[in-house]
Amino acid sequence: MDYVNNDDDQTSYDLLLKRVWRNERCSPTLLPYEKELVETVDLAIKDQDSCIEELRKMSKDSTTDFMISLLELELDRLNSYHRDRLKKIQQFHAHLLANKSEFDMMSPLEQKFCEQFTDLFEKHFNNCCFLSGIPEKLQKLNLQYMIVKPEVDNHVFVHVLEDLGDVQVGDAELEMNSGDFVCMKFSDIASLVEQQKVELV
């Protein structure tokens, strides 16, 4: 997705961040990392951080307090986006490492975190837990049976953002028009979420 570096587009950044954050929060899977948007918003927040301090030093009126609240809300939303992603990485770490296409959806820092978390997880089971107290031939972890996978067949609520016409949903076709709200399996709509033609609610 293209992001324009322009102060006039701050509102669109806010709306995009809300959508990306909400999609990540409602999705049963880890969605592709929105590098450009996150970096743009993060840079804007760092610039605004000094503004927040200046605003706090200025007169305490309702307008100043409101401005500070808006700036802090944007920071909270970005932090929440990162927390949601880290939670999914911890939950699905072995699955993400075993699937290159899903591993590539993470940022380089998230990939490093996933690898280190998996190493710690395996060391914990091998060294600290009950495994050291059982016969050696039973100690080997069978990770294939321990891998937690996202439940992509869970149903999600979707808000359609543009006219899509007839969309294949399982064995049937469903007409999806801008503004429609639909409940369907995430697996049937995942690609449209990634393309931001629909948003999760």
Domains of the chain: residue spans and CATH: 1-90 (1.20.58.1030), 92-150 (no CATH), 151-201 (3.40.5.60)
CB contact set of 33 (below 8 Å; sequence gap of 6+): 85, 105, 106, 107, 110
Output 141 or 91, whichever has higher pLDDT. Answer: 91
Token reading at 92? 């699905």
Q: How confident is the model at residue 3 (pLDDT cuts 50, 70, 90)?
A: very low
Question: Which range, of 11-15, 53-57, 131-135, averages the lowest pLDDT?
Answer: 131-135
What are the respective helix, strand and coil percentages of the chain, to the nearest 5? 60, 10, 25
C-alpha span between 85 and 154 (Å, rounded): 18
Mean pLDDT of the chain: 86
Predicted confidence at residue 140, as pLDDT, reads: 62
CB contact set of 129 (below 8 Å; sequence gap of 6+): none
Q: How far is CA 114 from the centre of its chain?
A: 14
Total-model pTM: 0.83
